[in-house]
Amino acid sequence: MINLFEYLNYREFLRDAYEERHATDWRFSHRYIADRAGFDGSMFNKILQGKRNLTERMVSVFAEIFCRDMRERTYFANMVAFNQAKTHSESRQYLEKLVATKECKVEDLAKDQFEYFDHWYHAVIRELVTFYPYVGDDAALGLMVRPPITASQVRSSIALLERLSMIKKNPETGFYEQTQGLISSGSESFSTAVNSYIQQNLDVAQTAMDRFDKTERNLSTLAFACDETTYGELVEMVRRFRREVLAKVSQCEKPNRVFQLGMQLFPLSDPYPPPQRRGRKRRIRGQEALDQKQPEGGEDAGEVEHV
């Protein structure tokens, strides 16, 4: 039988709980859930796929359908709030409520994962130990980081990385080395934590121009115009480039420094025509004249190029 308290992602719970009940009762279907919840038949599938979130009313309805008592309903409501939280602090708040339940088997891992994304330097320490002969000299290792971190921060980082099985001490050399342990940032449950981590790295990048000579850094930015199709192709290009970078650095036999490569691709304007907001159509000055007057040579004539 599905145990609600073993889950941190309400979509995974709903998917498993639905399949379990549907297997024993064919009448328990998407249509049945839609009728109970008061939405169309495709909505439940969209919720499972992450295309729709649960509203407060829907949380109550789903709790009635899938939960057996008040304790489970409270846990389910907190799990939804945790997954749909908009800020890192809000996520942590609901996570603490979830892990307070003793049956939650993912308690330790969840806390450690959040702690990993809490500080930008955990990833740096993990890379440093691949070439720095660390044997407990916390202050010295902290001074290797740019900007430097304290000895206590190094100790807590080493302890965390060991708990997550991301590093381990080699019994022969006494030095730490990386393992295959990995935290995936793709989990919806930790999306706000990852966003906080990215924000910290952006903050560190802001000071790189002052902390390093231009021969040690490569900073640039680019603004351009394109359509949605081209944007999608650019996203895939960035993903391929990241994979190529990882493949390249994996071939490096003698690393001696930790670097950060940041790639950001985000809009700097609304699409044209602008989207309607709050039920009101945005009026564009001069648009009426453009609509009424076509330049000679057809619609494609009179192209303007901005350099």
- CATH top-level class for 4-101? mainly alpha
Compute how many other C-beta atoms are within 10 angstroms of the C-beta atom of residue 77: 20
**Per-residue pLDDT at 155:** 96
- Residues 198 and 261: their CA atoms lie apart, in Å, by 12
- Residues 45 and 38: their CA atoms lie apart, in Å, by 14
- Residues 97 and 228: their CA atoms lie apart, in Å, by 41
Element (H, E) at 60: helix 56-66
**Per-residue pLDDT at 10:** 93
The DSSP 8-state label assigned to residue 113 in this structure reads H
- Residues 42 and 44: their CA atoms lie apart, in Å, by 6
**Per-residue pLDDT at 102:** 52
Compute how many other C-beta atoms are within 10 angstroms of the C-beta atom of residue 43: 17
Give SS3 for 51. Answer: coil
- Residues 166 and 182: their CA atoms lie apart, in Å, by 6
The DSSP 8-state label assigned to residue 258 in this structure reads -
| Helices (H), ranges, 43-87 | 43-48, 56-66, 70-83
**Per-residue pLDDT at 193:** 66
Give which of 184, 180, 204 is closest to 194, Cα–Cα.
184
Query: For residue 27, what are its two tokens?
Result: 């009448």
- Determine the Cα angle at 1 with ends 82 and 6, to 5°: 30
Compute how many other C-beta atoms are within 10 angstroms of the C-beta atom of residue 228: 8
Amino acid (one-letter) located at 194: V
Give SS3 for 302. Answer: coil
Compute and round to an integer the Cα radius of gyration of the chain: 26
- Residues 136 and 125: their CA atoms lie apart, in Å, by 13
Percent helix, strand, coil in the chain, to 5, is 50, 5, 45
- Determine the Cα angle at 38 with ends 37 and 39, to 5°: 100
Compute how many other C-beta atoms are within 10 angstroms of the C-beta atom of residue 61: 16
- Residues 1 and 20: their CA atoms lie apart, in Å, by 8
- Residues 32 and 79: their CA atoms lie apart, in Å, by 23
pLDDT along the chain (307 residues), means of 10: 86 94 92 90 90 93 94 93 83 77 53 77 91 92 94 95 88 85 50 72 83 85 91 92 84 90 84 68 57 47 33
Q: Give the CA count within 13 Å in the CB-facing half-sphere of 204.
A: 19
In the chain, where the domains are located: 4-101, 106-219
